[in-house]
Chain A
Amino acid sequence: MTSRRLNTWLISGPPLLYLVVFFAVPTLIMVLASFRYPGEFGGLAPLVQRGEQGQLVVNLTLENYQRFFSDPLYAELFVKSFWYAVVTTVLCLVIAYPLAVLIARSHKRHRDLLLLLVILPFWSNFLIRVYAWMIILGPQSVFAGALNAGFRLFGFGPVRLLFTPFAVVIGLVYVHLPFMVLPLYANLEKHDPALLDAAQDLGANAWQRFWRVTFPLSLPGVFAGAALVFIPAFGIFAIPDLLGGTSGIMIGNVIKQQFLDTRDWPFGSVLSMVLTVVAVGLAGLAAWYARRARAMA
């Protein structure tokens, strides 16, 4: 072995080994678990058993996948979670875009501060950020009271805000917003202002300049942000758990339930597998679009 190869292994070996043992292997065990039988008291049934004649029997099955595909309930939950994540992504984009434009076009001296102000809430505990909305949307809150007083003027009955899909989407947008602002800003910052001046000289109005210059150029940032928001939003369970009540549950809640409450690990693994495939597939698609958009720009 040359000394360079030895060095490579000495330096990259320990972290590689750690990530193989505590990330790659657990992931593979989960893949395998999705083909196994559930244990009598939850968890997993033994993989290898002595059969009646003393022969070794390997217990693997496709039943868990069959169950997933035969009961429309689970596919519907995936579709529902998908739409929650899509609505969240779109709302994040709409809110983040003006913020990112403002930061990118502000004076260099202010840029870092404005950006830091976007990231800062992201560093506060995730549960605290969700909890804040439990206060705001809760029935006793000043905000809900004022809103409902307004509704009463128009003859509406009081509207419940907390424990609804509406609350889930607000929570999802709130928690994921910085993930959209950052890649958008990183992209917008690089735009050459001369392009906008050129468009203006050629007679484009503000609306045209945005839709025909700024927005197409920012597509890589849009796709990167969309992937960063969509993937975690799709698999989340704590936000629907705290803000959603019974009507707002998502696929993450069912996965949590399969692992910790009903303890049907094989089926929980099937749901996790489908989640992985869908999430990674969509992220790959976004990455591919982003690369294509960059190539065209």
Chain B
Amino acid sequence: MSRRSRWLWLVAILGYLFLYAPLAIVVVYSFNDSRLNAQWVGFTLDWYRRLFHNEEMLGAAWNSLLIGVSASVVSTLLGTMAGYAMYRFKLRLLPVLVVAPIAIPEILTGVSLLIFFVAIDLTLGLTSIILAHIAFCIGFVAIVVRARLAGMDESLVEAARDLGATPLQAFRLVTLPLIMPGVIAGALMAFTLSIDDFVITYFTAGAGALTLPLEIYTMVKISVTPEVNAVSTLLMLVTLALIVIASRLSPGALRAGG
């Protein structure tokens, strides 16, 4: 048993190394005083300083924030309704429509929304990106909320009804507070997915709007510079902070989403 578990540990450590070493390299080079991601020359914060003077990058970050907040607010509302409806009622179409955008390759959602927006004559830009992000975030929120509802003690709602609460009161005063951690976790997940999304944004952005991932993509396509490392490191920090908050609020949420 011990020889066997030692072997298992070795493989697992290699597995974790494979997962984390590349990200660690990105972070380390963001502090390297050299244009090349090669030899370690010395410590610098220059790349971060440069980042905060890069107008295009700041504009992209602002757009990402705007899109992330709008998309997560709307998709949390609609996703919570969807999750609740799927839990409470027997539905056929909604569960399919909730899961389908998550299940098919992202590029398909991207191109079909591109055709759709052009067909309805909507100028591609912030609005089209927000509409697209809401569409793919609803499913994730719905799944998290539904999971939270499944773990709820149904007799509490029944007790409230027996004591004379209307269905709406029972929802507002009993169900909603109980599922709130799930709703907030879903909102944070939607926000993270939105500010991280590249593929669907790439097809629905047109020439009108630049987001952080689009900006990173353009930079990486042209040349690999430590400025990309710096923005990546910051983005990782933001995501990490959101994850920590989400997991505090709803321990099961991360697993439901991943």
A residues neighboring B (CB under 8 Å) = 7-8, 11-12, 14-16, 18-20, 22-27, 29-30, 33, 43-44, 95-96, 98-99, 101-103, 105, 112, 115-129, 131-136, 138, 140-142, 174, 177-179, 182, 206, 231-232, 234-238, 242, 252, 255-256, 259-260, 265, 268-269, 272, 275-276, 279-280, 283
Q: Could you tell me the distance between the alpha carbons of A96 and B84 in the complex, rounded to whole angstroms?
A: 34
Q: B236 touching A124 by the CB < 8 A rule?
A: yes
CA of A16 to CA of B11, assembled, Å: 45
In the assembled complex, 17 residue pairs joining A and B whose CB atoms fall closer than 8 Å, in A order, are A19-B135, A25-B116, A29-B119, A30-B115, A98-B15, A117-B16, A117-B19, A118-B19, A127-B220, A132-B23, A135-B26, A136-B25, A138-B224, A141-B38, A206-B4, A236-B107, A238-B217
- 11 new A-B pairs (CB below 8 Å) besides A256-B107, A265-B115? A19-B138, A23-B135, A25-B116, A120-B240, A124-B23, A128-B26, A131-B224, A140-B38, A206-B4, A236-B107, A260-B203
Inter-chain contacts of B100 with A (CB < 8 A): 23
Residues of B within 8 A of A255 (CB): 107, 111
Among residues 97 to 137 in chain B, which have CB atoms less than 8 Å away from a CB atom of chain A?
97-98, 100-101, 103-109, 111-116, 118-119, 131-132, 134-135
Interface centre among B9, B11, B258 (most CB of A within 10 A): B258
Task: State the CA gap A29–B111 with chains docked (Å).
Answer: 11
Residue B247 is within 8 A (CB to CB) of chain A in the complex: yes
A122 shortest CB reach to chain B, Å: 6
- A237 with B254, Cβ < 8 A, contacts A8-B85, A127-B217 known: no
Q: How far is the CA of A177 from the CA of B18 in the complex (A)?
A: 10
B112 touches A26 (CB 8 A): yes
| A25 / chain B contacts, CB cutoff of 8 Å | 116
Inter-subunit contact A123/B220 (CB<8 Å): no
B70 within 8 A of A: no
* Residues in B neighbouring A276, C-beta threshold 8 A: 104-105, 108
Complex CA distance for A232 and B93, rounded to whole angstroms: 23
Our pick among B23, B84, B93 for the contact of A16 (Cβ within 8 Å) is B93
The verdict on B216 contacting chain A, using a C-beta distance below 8 Å, is yes
Known: A132-B22, A182-B258. A127 touches B108 (CB 8 A): no
Judge whether A11 and B84 touch: CB under 8 Å.
yes
Scoring B residues 229 to 258 as 1 if CB is less than 8 Å from chain A, else 0, what string do you get?
A: 000100110011001000100010011001
Stretch at the interface among B147-155, B157-165, B192-200: B192-200
Shortest Cβ distance from residue A282 to the other chain B in the assembled complex, whole angstroms: 11
Q: Please determine whether A231 and B104 come into contact, CB atoms closer than 8 angstroms.
A: yes
Instruction: Decide if A102 touches B9 in the complex (CB within 8 Å).
Output: yes
- Flag if A232 contacts B106 (CB, 8 Å): yes
Q: Which 10 A-B pairs have the closest CB atoms?
A: A235-B105, A132-B22, A12-B85, A26-B116, A15-B82, A26-B112, A19-B97, A98-B11, A30-B112, A22-B135
Task: Assess the A178–B235 pair: CB atoms within 8 A.
Answer: no
